[in-house]
DNA sequence: CCGTATAGTGTAAGCGCTTACACCAACGAG
DNA sequence: CTCGTTGGTGTAAGCGCTTACACTATACGG
């Protein structure tokens, strides 16, 4: 079924059919109806590749994320997709698994498909790519990386403030031995959280002892991280996780070892994913407004009635959400194997 | 940057560049290098729309799911995507939110994009669509719906058996009042689980009392369902959920009401999503091999060294996975408000 | 009546790519 | 020396669509 078939059936030219389908130009009402009927009868649907090639209305935007499995990214995607659909757009999504190389090929794929806008919501970065995208005049939204320009909108979350609040909150609760569990700590936005953790901890040194480990993103990674900490001899009264997704695994490991949260150990996450309030104990975390981020991306990439607006830099604040997984440090757990507290800040890769 | 630019730079024709890029036909080694260098220098990447239009190698497959948020679908997608990437394919994903109308437009979108294969992993069905797809000669995989044909592979999970095992297992544990929580119960594959629940329960009647409610897919839906049951006066000793994703919410509601799982009430899920073993208590559920499903889809849609093989019907068995959320029915909870057990099998929409 | 808008439609030139076919050179067999 | 073969390359015809432009018919003021 091609445009030509429809044209033949409706006894008009392909140009007219195209005009009807795209709702542009002047077409007689009766002709519109004839065409629509032919479309129905033939069950015609347009070849989007041809349409895009020919420079037609390009109603698709792309979104690249690091890990779709992590509800954080998924939520942003879902919000964006809903907004996009509402405006007649489709969104193509690609996953990088935190691999810069995959980022490169995903971007190529998106550009090759001719998206009309691209959201890059990843933690890994590729300076050359960012530059290239900046130099093009494709509307792009970078999350966490890059800098604003005419066609570039930049969304930055203030992780440092969020992390600082978490550490101070825990310190205020009497916690003096904290462990940090992260993943891909070489990636800047992620190492930011860890760095902040360490910096804030340093302020309170030497009263505050810390340790950091790294694993893979996700519950399993979190569980591994928790194991590593628990078997290290360092006995934290609080475990700070780089995100909620990993904290889920930490909670599980504690449960399996009959370590009570928060009575024996406090646990915190970051992101405030939906699941955070559905686990037991519900997770204390820093809220990142993912829906707002999704909407902002949509706004930046999908032209509205008044165009699309210049690229700009948007700062997002986080908010501490206290739930059940944190409590004052127990004096009980402090005494356990006090001997081993001598060892400090072990860095893992 | 077009093929022509590359051709000019490498001083060959576009045909030769195309041959190099697609690795077909005979091209002199030195020419290949010249072309590749030009590609590098110009940072050329192909316009995939043009490529597909021209009938080039079409290395994308589509996948349509009901709810990407539900880890069940996400896992299938992730496996498929990994397989696809390994073979140089991309996968386009679309979400229907259980809406048949969205299914229709998603299919059109996929066909319009010219995917070389399509996986329809949804719970809703549209007979006309299924027929249409069957009549095309596009390789298609249907999950749960449709029937096998030359180009159609059909994957069916034996929900009935799985559900039967769950109910019998619970009955064996002494549970005599069970509630079922589902969603979109008008959709066949979903109503199947509920119907089976009811049928098995009927076998044990009148000793077994049941009640069913429906809500939205997801933890929040599960929580709502649990609330409805708990406030109804019907005091189940076991709550059977249509899937794990909803069971998460049930667990939460129990936790908030200080109802102990499994001491006071047993809870079961279905699917065995990764999270099932990361919540507390870990969920007893029926395992559906999502990775296997993902691989099967890849096999059916992505031509391997020996072609792609005929469409066929594949039956998948589930396996009961007992974890922490189920235990023998407590006699304590049986006595509570015994008066209200009179009411039965309330059907919710 | 003519000139000139204007509504409505058709013609045809691409968009960037693949590929059938044509072509040429080089080479071994007869 | 000629002919078929084969390796290597170019030419050009589309793929299905959009859209600039051309065109016709009708209306309307002068």
Decide: B119 and B301 in contact? Cβ < 8 Å.
Answer: yes
Q: How far is the CA of A234 from the C1' of D19 (A)?
A: 71
What is the pLDDT, as a whole number, of residue B332?
58
How much of chain A exceeds pLDDT 90, in percent?
A: 81
Question: Residue A305 pLDDT more than 80?
Answer: no
Q: Do A49 and B45 touch (CB under 8 A)?
A: no
Structural element, H or E, at residue A267: strand A266-268
Q: How far is the CA of A285 from the C1' of D2 (A)?
A: 87
Cβ of A28 near strand D (distance < 7 A): no
User: What distance in Å separates residue A318's CA from the closest CA in chain B?
Assistant: 23
Cβ of A48 near strand C (distance < 7 A): no
Locate A124 and state its tokens.
């890994």
CB atoms within 10 A of CB B138: 18
A81-85 mean pLDDT: 95
The residue in chain B having the minimum alpha-carbon distance to the alpha carbon of residue A136 is B1
User: What distance in Å separates residue B74's CA from the closest CA in chain A?
Assistant: 7
The residue ranges of chain B whose pLDDT is under 70 are 331-349
Decide: B108 and B96 in contact? Cβ < 8 Å.
Answer: no
Positions in chain C where some atom is under 7 Å from a protein CB: 7-12, 14-20
What is the pLDDT, as a whole number, of residue A261?
96
Q: Do B280 and A277 touch (CB under 8 A)?
A: no
Q: How far is the CA of A133 from the C1' of D19 (A)?
A: 29
Positions in chain D where some atom is under 7 Å from a protein CB: 7-12, 14-20
Within 8 A of A255 by CB-CB distance, chain B residues are 280
What is the pLDDT, as a whole number, of residue A342?
37
Decide: A265 and A238 in contact? Cβ < 8 Å.
Answer: yes
A42-46 mean pLDDT: 95
What is the pLDDT, as a whole number, of residue B142?
95
User: With bands split at pLDDT 50, 70 and 90, how would you rate the model's confidence at A57?
Assistant: confident
Structural element, H or E, at residue A121: strand A118-121
What is the pLDDT, as a whole number, of residue A143?
93
Q: Do A48 and B280 touch (CB under 8 A)?
A: no
Question: Residue A338 pLDDT more than 70?
Answer: no
| Beta pairing class for B238-241 and B177-183 | parallel
- Rounded to an integer, what distance in angstroms lies between the CA atom of residue A305 and that of residue B76? 38
- Rounded to an integer, what distance in angstroms lies between the CA atom of residue A234 and that of residue A60? 51
User: What distance in Å separates residue B134's CA from the closest CA in chain A?
Assistant: 15
**How remote is the C-alpha of B38 from its chain's centroid?**
44
SS3 category, A38: helix
Mean pLDDT, chain A, integer: 91
DSSP collapsed to 3 states, A151-216: CEEEEEECHHHHHHHHHHHHHHCCCCEEEEEEECCCCHHHHHHHHHHHHHHHHHCCCCEEEEEEEC
A94-98 mean pLDDT: 94
Whole-model pTM: value is 0.91
Question: Residue A341 pLDDT more than 60?
Answer: no
What is the pLDDT, as a whole number, of residue A332?
56
Cβ of B55 near strand D (distance < 7 A): yes
A208-232 mean pLDDT: 96
From residue B44, give the alpha-carbon distance in Å to each of A52, B36, B87: 19, 10, 22
Half-sphere exposure of B306 (CA within 13 A, CB side): 2
A66-95 mean pLDDT: 96
Cβ of B11 near strand D (distance < 7 A): yes
Within 8 A of B95 by CB-CB distance, chain A residues are 78, 81
Cβ of B23 near strand D (distance < 7 A): no
What is the pLDDT, as a whole number, of residue A310?
82
Cβ of B13 near strand D (distance < 7 A): yes
From residue B263, give the alpha-carbon distance in Å to each of A116, A149, B5, B286, B327: 55, 59, 72, 21, 7
Decide: A177 and A230 in contact? Cβ < 8 Å.
Answer: no
Within 8 A of A112 by CB-CB distance, chain B residues are 45-49
Helix B188-204 and helix B159-172, axial crossing angle in degrees, nearest 10: 30
Helix B71-86 and helix B290-301, axial crossing angle in degrees, nearest 10: 40
- Number of A/B CB contacts below 8 angstroms equals 104
Question: Residue A346 pLDDT more than 50?
Answer: no
What is the pLDDT, as a whole number, of residue A347?
41
A10-24 mean pLDDT: 95
């Amino acid at each position: 079924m091609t445009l030509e078939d429809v044209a033949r059936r409706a006894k008009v030219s392909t140009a007219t059919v195209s005009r009807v389908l795209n709702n542009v130009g002047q077409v007689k009402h009766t002709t519109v109806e004839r065409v629509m009927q032919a479309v129905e009868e033939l069950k015609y649907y347009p070849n989007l590749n041809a349409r895009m090639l020919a420079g037609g209305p390009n109603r698709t935007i792309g979104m690249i994320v690091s890990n779709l499995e992590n509800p954080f990214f998924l939520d942003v995607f879902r919000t964006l997709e809903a907004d996009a659909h509402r405006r007649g757009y489709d969104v193509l999504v690609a996953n990088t698994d935190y691999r810069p190389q995959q980022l490169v090929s995903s971007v190529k794929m998106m550009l090759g498909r001719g998206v009309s806008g691209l959201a890059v919501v990843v933690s890994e970065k590729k300076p050359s790519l960012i530059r290239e995208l900046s130099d093009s005049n494709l509307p792009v939204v970078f999350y966490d990386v890059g800098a604003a320009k005419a066609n570039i909108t930049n969304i930055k979350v203030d992780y440092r403030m969020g992390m600082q609040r978490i550490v101070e909150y825990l310190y205020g609760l009497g916690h003096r031995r904290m462990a940090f569990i992260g993943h891909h700590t070489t990636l800047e936005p992620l190492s930011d959280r860890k760095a902040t953790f360490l910096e804030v901890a340093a302020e309170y040194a030497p009263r505050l002892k810390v340790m950091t480990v790294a694993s893979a993103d996700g519950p399993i990674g979190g569980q591994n991280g928790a194991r590593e900490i628990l078997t290290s001899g360092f006995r934290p009264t609080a475990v700070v996780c780089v995100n909620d997704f990993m904290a889920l695994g930490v909670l599980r490991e504690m449960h399996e070892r009959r370590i009570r949260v928060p009575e024996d150990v406090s646990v915190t996450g970051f992101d405030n994913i939906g699941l955070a309030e559905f686990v037991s104990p519900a997770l204390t975390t820093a809220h990142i407004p993912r829906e707002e981020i999704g909407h902002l991306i949509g706004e930046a990439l999908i032209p509205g009635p008044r165009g699309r607006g210049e690229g700009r830099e948007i700062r997002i604040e986080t908010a501490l959400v206290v739930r059940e997984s944190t409590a004052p440090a127990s004096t009980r757990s402090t005494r356990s194997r006090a001997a081993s507290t001598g060892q400090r800040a072990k860095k893992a890769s």
